[in-house]
Structure 1
């Protein structure tokens, strides 16, 4: 697992197991932090090959498998399945120094989905934060929402919002005449019956799913709803065209909207 630390080969090589192995060589008081802490809490962050840990300043550690930071004032630690870990809110604030705005909101949304924190608590903690890039932490916390199902839904929502368009409702539920649940939209503007969804599936390989989607579209058309579908390329490849599609659809639905270039620094076009 680490140099000088071994485990039977029948044991799964998981992040938690690597952290348990690291505890055998770390100084007393060490705390798992940053991306490692985020992943332990169920958050979504960019992948890192090494385990991130914060250690007391007087107890330096040099191991190639670990990314250790020395701190004169150690962050408070919580116990998570026996591991000392920075809390969800502290982890969010720490990663403001390493992540950009979009990835930080992805982390916040995922922590909320994992029921480790709430948008309100992140906003409160970020407001009190005086550390590096505190302004970024406050801006990201204000954009975290409950009910987001995936990182790509977060990215799609932020693309729309940073372009200056009205913020869509997350997970709006469409009900039938008896109040029963019929559809749930990733993102929508219920007041004008426009929905926007991210689709990461390969429908060309699933004819039954394709048929279900065709029937769903017909049903929504009958209810007066319009459904826009975004793919991965629409977010990562041609974000400008995606902004234009959404803006045109909103205008066709009667909203007066203007777009800005605020998305460009966060969604570089590749197509």
Structure 2
């Protein structure tokens, strides 16, 4: 029996192919999961672990939940362990390190040679494991980077049951188009959960002649207010930093106010960020700004150093 040892395979297949137990246990092979090995020297990537998780299942099983998320390369942290979904309970298997789910109506696609959950299904699957803000980060990423529409995510969540289904539907309602980065999403969600008017995403600012000057992360055009997330990449690229400063000065000349938020203002001191933005919106006369910010953001942004 010919066996491709550069792909994960169950030990029993190796034995059937004529590889001895001593050889399988020797330095020529490495463990992927319990009972599943691969040739030594092959990097154990998320793709390889997904293949290993599927190695003992029938062909129409697929990697799902956190396993599928890692294969897709989603921009959020996922929990440990591998996940496989099968269409009927009779195909469910017990395997160490693998959680098996049963879902008859799930859809799968092939990514990097591995059958995985489709993105709308993955959004719903992760609602049971991922907090609200990170689920919105995932949705914004799917829309911006993978061409999924917010309407498709809302549709996928419509009949999802239980607490996870409710969280998925709530998160899908916050997903927006054109969001450039996960930190933009986190900043926007901090402000929205604080009860502030929702900003417009990535509006292009133009000069008096109608020429585009710059596109900013979050803005309230009615008050000429801009809030931007500023990451370390600006500091590390001095030339880009200088260009950004010049553009900000030009925007200021046209009556706009710019407030810059860094990672500390989201992870370590979110309350200060909420207060700064709230005060600026009030000062600039932006409609529907509350008399005080809501405290509903607090469970989602604890503001501890351990969250960095």
Q: Matched residues in 1 for 2:83 and 2:164: separation? A: 20
Residue 228 (1) aligns with residue 259 (2):
yes
- Alpha carbons 1:78, 1:85 under 8 Å: kept: yes
> Pairwise CA RMSD of aligned residues?
2.4
Alpha-carbon displacement from aligned partner over 1:67-112 (angstroms, at most 9, x marks no partner)? 3224264633233343222221111112111111111111111111
Give the corresponding residue for 1:255. 286
Partner residue of 2:298? 264
2:157 maps to what in 1? 126
**Aligned counterpart, 1:75:** 106
Pair 1:35 & 2:66 matched = yes
Q: Is the 8 Å Cα contact of residues 42 and 110 (structure 1) preserved in structure 2? A: no
- 1:82-93 matches, within 5 Å, as 82-93=113-124
Shift of 1:144: 0.4
Cα deviation, 1:168-217, whole Å, max 9, x if unaligned, reads: 01111112344333201011111211111111116555543443333222
- How many Å separate the matches in 2 of 1:95 and 1:39? 12
User: Aligned match of 1:22 in 53, 59, 63?
Assistant: 53
The alpha-carbon distance between structure 1 residues 42 and 147, as it changes in their structure 2 partners (threshold 3 A), is farther
Counterpart selection for 1:148 from 179, 199, 212: 179
**Does structure 2 conserve the Cα–Cα contact (< 8 Å) formed by 1:52 and 1:67?**
yes
Residues of 2 paired with 1:173 and 1:251: CA distance?
Answer: 23
Name the count of aligned residue pairs: 269
* Alignment CA distance shift 1:242-1:181 (3 Å): same
**Structure 1 stretches of at least 4 aligned residues deviating more than 6 Å after TM superposition:** none
Higher normalized contact order (CA 8 Å, seq sep 6+, divided by chain length): 1
Provide TM-score, normalisation by structure 2: 0.78
Match of 2:167 in 1: 136
Larger Rg: 2
What is the distance in 2 between the residues matched to 1:215 and 1:154? 25
Q: Which residue number in structure 2 is paired with residue 105 of structure 1? A: 136
| Whole-angstrom distance in 1 between the partners of 2:255 and 2:147 | 38
TM-score (norm 1): 0.88
Residues 118-156 of structure 1: per-residue CA shift (max 9 Å, x gap): 111112222333344322111110000111111111110
Aligned partner (choices 180, 191, 200) of residue 231 of structure 2 = 200
**Structure 1, unaligned stretches of length 5 or more?**
none
Instruction: Name the CA distance, whole Å, in 1 between partners of 2:283 and 2:65.
Output: 44
Counterparts of 1:202 and 1:84, CA distance in 2: 35
Structure 2 portions without partners, runs of 5+: 1-31
